[in-house]
Amino acid sequence: MKQFFNSFTKGSFLTKLSFFVMGISHFFKGQWVKGIIYLSVQIAFFIYMFSYGFSAIGKLKSLGTTEQGWIFDEEKGIDILVAGDNSMLILLYGVFAIFITLAFLFLYRSACIQGYELEQEIKRGKKPLSFRQEIAEYGDSFLHKTLLFLPVTGVVVLTILPLVFMILIAFTNFDRHHQPPGNLFTWVGLENFKAMLSSGSTLGKTFFPVLAWTLVWATLATSLNYILGMLLAMLINKKGIKLKGFYRTIFILSIAIPQFVSLLVMRNILDDDGPLNVLLENAGIISDYVPFLTNATLARISVIVINLWIGIPYTMLITTGILMNIPEDLYESAKIDGATPVTQYFRITLPYVFFVTAPYLITQFIGNINNFNIIYFLTRGGPATLDYYQAGKTDLLVTWLYKLTVNSKDYSYAATIGILVFIISAVFSLIAYRRTSSYKNEEEFG
């Protein structure tokens, strides 16, 4: 902003004028095409804003005032459906208008600063670049900007804009009772967050138990996969073990098979009338079926165990290469000092591998917090319970969010959960990563 204000205060009359008429400075200093482009953008922006933009932003305050309804036409003698406001479109168009405004302000600042810089170049006796020469520079010196333009635009339009829209939904009462265009939804401020975080409300009695299970699940799924995958890699890499490639191939097969296929197969196997229960009953081991997926405790144990089968091979592959790079001298010195294999593991192997894989471990933890597939395809969040609102005993926050969206159409509550999950994930990631040796000592292991 300092550069922007300096351009106005130190610039010539033409430069100051370009703050009101974009591109005028470029136009009179030889850059005709660029000046016309800037002026066209400004005219198009004002036409859009006065035609739709200001109205769209203004309607954000109320999200609509007129509901769709039937009125009696006395001339025709029939009821006529009169279209009303659509809160969803009002919110979407308003957010879009704000983004358009921000994009224009960014371009406006760039045009003003460039006008001043162009003036300084002319004072130094440097000839301004033609439009063709500037285009050529964007294929050479500024190639990085050219290559990043489309990806950045795509991220803004397809990711950031929808995210802002969904975040704003959390501050409304958009649910099955407020479905546009038949019904309007309005701003409710922090009411959804208060309901979600209040221990006395129905939502609060669901949120906190589901959050607790989500954290327990993420911790066990991450730590067990990590430790057991590392131990498996150590076992296969151990001297004297033959057919190492064969063993690795066997475990990698579980990765090659699509995860949802494996989970659906396991769901059928663990069903109350599934093959496993039938086999155990025919063998005389059990007299009645084991509720692997219909008992809350057993269902939670089942998803953790099955996740081991799916997740351990990933950790094995990642740690195999790291284990091969640990200097043998460390182990030889430890053996001379009388260190047992357990001591060597906790003092050499685990710290070395953890130093390299700490960011991966944090990523896996966050991924398990949002691990939709294994819960939904295996248990669908069940077993169901009347103690929770639209959630089952194995539901994670992400699967509960899905159910609120699809089953009960509580979009505002789902958006609220999405924000809370993001806050939890972001805070944990930042704190955990800053405490790892990978962050503190990037250049050395110790």
Is residue 255 a contact partner of residue 313, using CB atoms and an 8 Å limit? yes
Q: Which helix (H) or strand (E) holds 73?
A: strand 69-73
Q: Say if residue 206's pLDDT is above 90.
A: yes
Per-residue model confidence (pLDDT) at position 256:
81
pLDDT digits (tens, 9 = 90+) for 209-223: 999 999 999 999 999
SS (H, E, C) 298-332: HHHHHHHHHHHHHHHHHHHHHHHHHHHCCCHHHHH
Phi-psi region of 287 (alpha: psi -120 to 50; beta: other; left: phi over 0): alpha
Q: Say if residue 422's pLDDT is above 80.
A: yes
Encode burial over 244-258: b for 16+ CB neighbours within 10 A, e otherwise. eeeebeebeeeeeee
Mean pLDDT of 110-114: 90
Burial tier of 379 (Cβ tally within 10 Å: 0-12, 13-18, 19+): buried
The span from the CA of 261 to the CA of 232, in Å, is 24
pLDDT digits (tens, 9 = 90+) for 363-403: 999 999 999 999 999 999 999 999 999 999 999 999 999 99
Per-residue model confidence (pLDDT) at position 438:
61
The four Cα atoms 56, 61, 62, 65 give a dihedral, to 10 degrees, of -40
The span from the CA of 193 to the CA of 412, in Å, is 10
pTM above 0.75, yes or no: yes
The span from the CA of 103 to the CA of 404, in Å, is 34
**Residue type at position 384:** A
The span from the CA of 437 to the CA of 445, in Å, is 8
DSSP 9: H
The span from the CA of 382 to the CA of 359, in Å, is 32
Interaxial angle between packed helices 202-237 and 296-324, expressed in degrees from 0 to 180 and rounded to the nearest 10: 40
Per-residue model confidence (pLDDT) at position 281:
92
Provide the CA 94 distance to its chain's centre, in angstroms. Answer: 23
The four Cα atoms 161, 164, 170, 172 give a dihedral, to 10 degrees, of -70
Dig out the tokens for 80 from the structure.
């006529």
Q: Average pLDDT of the chain?
A: 89
Give 87's pLDDT tier (boundaries 50, 70, 90): very high
Phi-psi region of 238 (alpha: psi -120 to 50; beta: other; left: phi over 0): beta
What is the percent of the chain with per-residue pLDDT over 70, rounded to a whole number? 95
Domains and CATH numbers, the chain: 2-189 (no CATH), 193-440 (1.10.3720.10)
Dig out the tokens for 143 from the structure.
């190639």
Per-residue model confidence (pLDDT) at position 145:
85
Per-residue model confidence (pLDDT) at position 385:
92
Cis peptide before 162 (omega within 30 of 0): no
Candidate from 34-43, 328-337, 358-367, 429-438 with smallest mean pLDDT: 429-438
Per-residue model confidence (pLDDT) at position 406:
93
pLDDT digits (tens, 9 = 90+) for 152-166: 999 999 999 999 999
Per-residue DSSP letters for 126-193? PPPPPHHHHHHHTTTTTHHHHHHHHHHHHHIIIIIHHHHHHHHHTTB--STTS-TTTS---B-TTHHH
**79: phi then psi, degrees, rounded to nearest 5:** -85, 135
Across-strand partners of 392?
A: 384
Per-residue model confidence (pLDDT) at position 388:
95
Residue appearing with tokens 């309804």: 69
Non-local (6+) Cβ contacts of 389 within 8 A are 202, 203, 205, 206
The span from the CA of 348 to the CA of 67, in Å, is 69
Q: Report the candidate in 254, 275, 84, 318 with the shortest Cα–Cα distance to residue 183.
A: 84
Per-residue model confidence (pLDDT) at position 337:
87
The span from the CA of 369 to the CA of 141, in Å, is 43
The span from the CA of 281 to the CA of 268, in Å, is 16
Residue appearing with tokens 């039937």: 70
pLDDT digits (tens, 9 = 90+) for 262-317: 899 999 999 999 999 999 999 999 999 999 999 999 999 999 999 998 889 889 98
Per-residue model confidence (pLDDT) at position 440:
62
Is residue 362 a contact partner of residue 429, using CB atoms and an 8 Å limit? yes
